[in-house]
Every structure is written in structure tokens, then in C-alpha cells.
């Protein structure tokens, strides 16, 4: 098992996921999460606005990373290559912590329709962030929208493969392979 030195933020996330799994999301209070993490409620509220934020925080960071990676892609890169650069940039920021917690996070989200809705909205927010970043590179809107949908599907598939399997491939390799798989699939639809 990989080792890392958890900061306060990661300790809150770990504690929250344990409690959500043990006793349910609705039944868990911020006070209990702080207790379990060995930190105070006021420290909790310096990191998160409420307990739902504990689960959503990572997804907001992802949208920013996608946009940064797309903006930094070479000017001559195709829209697909620019999306690939965005996914690769985001993948590079994911840690062993994300890899280990990913499946547990999914399991907790599956128990609550409120959390499922939140997760869906974040995914749509990611697609919008990718499409915006592509349009800022001068990619035409119709192409930007379709590329963004492929990017979100690919990141989701790559992340699932990374967390579900004891995989030798890096997350960046898995998201890139998924992106090309989706692109190949979509080209054969007609």
C-alpha cells in the first residue's frame, strides 16, 4: 500500500468517507467527522463549507486542471490532442490518496440520490470547462462541445480503470487510451 503524509484536508476526507460508509451520509455530522479526524470543527470549516463539499472538492479542482492543460497545449495541436493534454495534466495531479479513496467515494455516492445528482452536475461542469477552454483556443463551438463530451467520458473510464484494477499503466496512459477508444468509436457511428 502506498504511503503518503495526509494533510488536514485528506484527514477530513478519509474520516468522512469512513463515517458515511459506516453509518450513512445523512446520519453523519460535521462534529463527528472532525472528531474522527482528530481535528476541530472550526478547522473543518476552514477547508469545506459543509459535509457535501467533502465529496465534491476534488471534482472542482479537476475542471481547473483540464482547462490549464488545454490552454498549455501547443498552438498546432488538434482539438483531440488538446483534450488529451488537459486529461494528462489533471491525471498528473492525482495521488495515491485519490486512487485509494476513489472506489469508496463511488460507493458512498451510490447510497444517496442527493450525492448522485451532485456528481452528475459536477460532470456536466467539467464538460463545460473543457468546451470553454477549447473555444478560447479558437475551436469552433460544435467541435468544442463534442470534444468535451469525449473528454469527460474518457476521464471517467480511465479513472475507473485506474482505481478498479491493479494496473501497471499510469492514470494519464489510461485516460489517453480511453480518449482514443471513444474517438475511434464515435468515428464509426455513421
Residue 145 lies near a copy of itself (rule: CB under 8 A): yes
Phi first, then psi, for residue 39 (nearest 5°) are -130, 175
Tell me if 183 contacts a copy of itself by CB under 8 A: yes
Q: Is 120 in the site for a copy of itself (CB under 8 A)?
A: yes
Phi, psi at 31, each rounded to 5° = -60, -45
Establish if 188 lies at the interface with a copy of itself (CB under 8 A): yes
Q: Does the footprint of a copy of itself cover residue 189 (CB under 8 A)? A: yes
- CA quadruple 69, 72, 73, 76: dihedral sign: positive
Choose, by CB under 8 A, the member of 29, 140, 164, 165 that binds a copy of itself.
140
Give the residue, chosen from 33, 91, 153, 174, that forms a contact with a copy of itself under the rule CB under 8 A: 153
- Plot region of 47 (φ>0 → left; ψ -120 to 50 → alpha; else → beta): alpha
Binders of a copy of itself in range 57-116 (CB under 8 A): 78-81, 83
Closest CB 16 distance from a copy of itself, rounded Å: 23
DSSP state of 144: H
Q: How far apart are CA 180 and CA 182, in angstroms?
A: 5
Amino acid at each position: 500500500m502506498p504511503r503518503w503524509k495526509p494533510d488536514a484536508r485528506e484527514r477530513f476526507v478519509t474520516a468522512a468517507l469512513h463515517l458515511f460508509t459506516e453509518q450513512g451520509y445523512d446520519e453523519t455530522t460535521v462534529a463527528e467527522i472532525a472528531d474522527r479526524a482528530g481535528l476541530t470543527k472550526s478547522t473543518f470549516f476552514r477547508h469545506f463549507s459543509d459535509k457535501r463539499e467533502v465529496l465534491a472538492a476534488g471534482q472542482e479542482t479537476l475542471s481547473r486542471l483540464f482547462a490549464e492543460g488545454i490552454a498549455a497545449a501547443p498552438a498546432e495541436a488538434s482539438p483531440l490532442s488538446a483534450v488529451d493534454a488537459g486529461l494528462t495534466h489533471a491525471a498528473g495531479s492525482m495521488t495515491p490518496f485519490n486512487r485509494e479513496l476513489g472506489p469508496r467515494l463511488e460507493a458512498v455516492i451510490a447510497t444517496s440520490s442527493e450525492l448522485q445528482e451532485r456528481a452528475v452536475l459536477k460532470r456536466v461542469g467539467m464538460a463545460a470547462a473543457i468546451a470553454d477552454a477549447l473555444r478560447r483556443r479558437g475551436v469552433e463551438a460544435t467541435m468544442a462541445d463534442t470534444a468535451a463530451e469525449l473528454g469527460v467520458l474518457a476521464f471517467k473510464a480511465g479513472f475507473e480503470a485506474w482505481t478498479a484494477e491493479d494496473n501497471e499503466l499510469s492514470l494519464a496512459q489510461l485516460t489517453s487510451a480511453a480518449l482514443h477508444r471513444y474517438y475511434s468509436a464515435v468515428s464509426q457511428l455513421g
